[in-house]
Amino acid sequence: MYKFLITHLPKSLANIMIALWYFFLIVFNIYCGVAVSQGEFQYVGW
Amino acid sequence: MKLLIEVILFAIPMVLLAWTLPRTYVLPSQIIITGLFIAYQSPLSFVILTSITLGNYYLLHKAVLQKSIKIAISLCILILLIVSAKILFTIHDHWIIPLGMSYYIFRNIHYTIESYNGRIQNESLLSYFAYNFFLPVLIIGPINRYPEFIRDWERRRMNSEYFSLGLQRILFGVSKILIIGNYLLSSKSIAFITNLDENYLWLKAYLETVTLVLNAYFQFAGYSDIAIGIALLLGFRIMENFNFPFLASNMQEFWMKYHMSLSAFCRDYIYTPIAAHYRKPMLGVVITMIIIGLWHEITMPFLLWGLLQAFGIYLAFLFKDSPTSWVSRNLGRIFVFNYFCLSCVIIDYQELGKALEVYKILFFIN
């Protein structure tokens, strides 16, 4: 994805978009972890 | 989620020690932390896995016996162990297979066969233990190979590139498990399917089948990503387990992209010897796929699932000479995805009666 962005966008903009993408993933994972621990949905897996 | 968190928690001191300790102490520290992890999860597993490691090492490298006899004894014991563990697990639900036993035995079978082939000679007990007690791949693979593991150890790169790549893979892995597997597929998608009107029985059955398969795939791929990520933090580059399998245009290609470490193991140690000896590639495929099925669980649904996979590969053999175009490749992708999902109905429902009911709905049979 980084390669795709860097070839189509200016480097600084690509970096910002990648940083936002990782930020989104981290926040969403934390949200899911909290939701599972509070029983909002059941965790399936190991 | 408990096991996932615990693997990551035990990996943290392992990574810290790998980056701070002198090289001589890194492997012992990894063995000790992995040993502590196994003992913490199940002391019995620790005893069993340690005994297998010590026993197999002594037999292969120290016992005064003819080489072929040593290899035969080792293989017989390992196969007997995995088969008996799987059968006992199937008969008694409350029996628990020692932690990571299925992968552990396959790694040891690989080690034994490669010892026979001469690719592994006079290895130290420390490196053998480090190979067997390697936390990232311990529980659900990938089934990494010994020569590659040792090569990685010798050329170990502790640099920022591997470190950031490792963190990225762990983040992607956790996202696949939590966001796609649990949040989108297990929670939202299942809720949507449950609320569908009863008139859409076919759609309900189809979506449920697809959701179960995708969930299993993303969970498994997520754990593999975490394993590869932790290994990268430790300076090891272990083999990939998935390579966009649902983009494969036939079942043969699919099995080269899905659970790659298992299919590569089975290709090298089951398919190739059988196909070469009997000059019948399809016989090799059928036996290999049956073994892959039974490796998951020794039950009738998994046996049938293995046979269905073999049939899928047979179809790929039949059409291998047909001309390929953009349309045929994409039609092939649709076929592979649906064929694999439908074949998994047998193992999703575990009982053949229930699976047949779902098949009747999916194929409009009254």
| CA of A14 vs chain B CAs: smallest distance (Å) | 17
Q: In the prediction, which pLDDT does B109 show?
A: 92
Give the whole-angstrom CA distance, residue B260 versus residue B282: 20
B251 in Cβ contact with B265 (< 8 Å) = no
Contact at 8 Å (CB) between B344 and B305? yes
> What is residue B95's predicted lDDT score, i.e. its pLDDT?
58
| A16: number of Cβ within 10 Å | 13
pLDDT digits (tens, 9 = 90+) for B269-278: 999 999 999 9
Query: Rounded to the nearest 5 degrees, what angle is found at the Cα of B290, between the Cα atoms of B50 and B307?
Result: 155
The mean predicted confidence, pLDDT, of chain B is 89
List the Cα angle B284/B290/B292 in 5-degree steps.
100
Residue range B216-236, pLDDT digits in tens: 999 999 999 999 999 999 988
Alpha carbon of B286: minimum distance to chain A alpha carbons (Å): 30
**pLDDT value at B170 more than 90:** yes
State which residue of chain B sits closest to A39, comparing Cα positions.
B187
Please report the pLDDT score of residue A30 as a whole number: 93
Note the pLDDT of residue B209: 92
The yes-or-no verdict on residue B97 having pLDDT over 70 is: no
CB pair distance less than 8 Å for A46 and B139: yes
In this structure, what are the phi and psi dihedrals at residue B326, rounded to the nearest 5 degrees? Answer: -60, -40
Is A18 in contact with A2 (CB distance < 8 Å)? yes
What is the tens place of the pLDDT at every residue in B20-75? 999 889 999 999 999 999 999 888 888 988 998 999 999 888 888 888 888 888 88
Cβ–Cβ contact B179 with A under 8 A: yes
Is residue B362 over pLDDT 70?
Answer: yes
> How distant is the alpha carbon of residue B22 from its chain centre?
33
| Tens digits of residue pLDDT in B284-335 | 999 999 999 998 888 899 999 999 999 999 999 888 877 778 888 899 999 9
Residues of A in contact with B4 (CB under 8 A): 45-46
pLDDT in tens, B240-253: 999 999 999 999 99
Within an 8 Å CB–CB cutoff, is residue B9 touching chain A?
A: no
Report residue B339's pLDDT band, with 50, 70 and 90 as the boundaries: very high
Which residues on B lie below 8 Å from A30 (Cβ)?
Answer: none
Confidence tier at B96 by pLDDT (50, 70, 90): low
Residues in Cβ contact with B248 at an 8 Å cutoff, skipping those fewer than 6 apart: B254, B256, B257, B258, B332, B333, B336
pLDDT on residue B122: 77
Give the pLDDT score at B86: 77
Give the residue extent of every domain in chain A.
2-37
Average pLDDT of the residues in B98-103: 80
pLDDT of residue B244: 93
B254 pLDDT tier (thresholds 50, 70, 90): very high
% of chain B with per-residue pLDDT over 70: 98
A38: its two tokens: 């509070």
Rounded CA separation B175/B225 (Å): 10
Whether B1 sits inside 8 A of A43 (CB atoms) is yes
Taking the C-alpha atoms of residue B249 and residue B256, their distance in angstroms, rounded to an integer, is: 11
C-alpha B188/C-alpha B270 separation (Å) is: 41
Query: Residue B16's CB: how many other CB atoms inside 10 A?
Result: 12
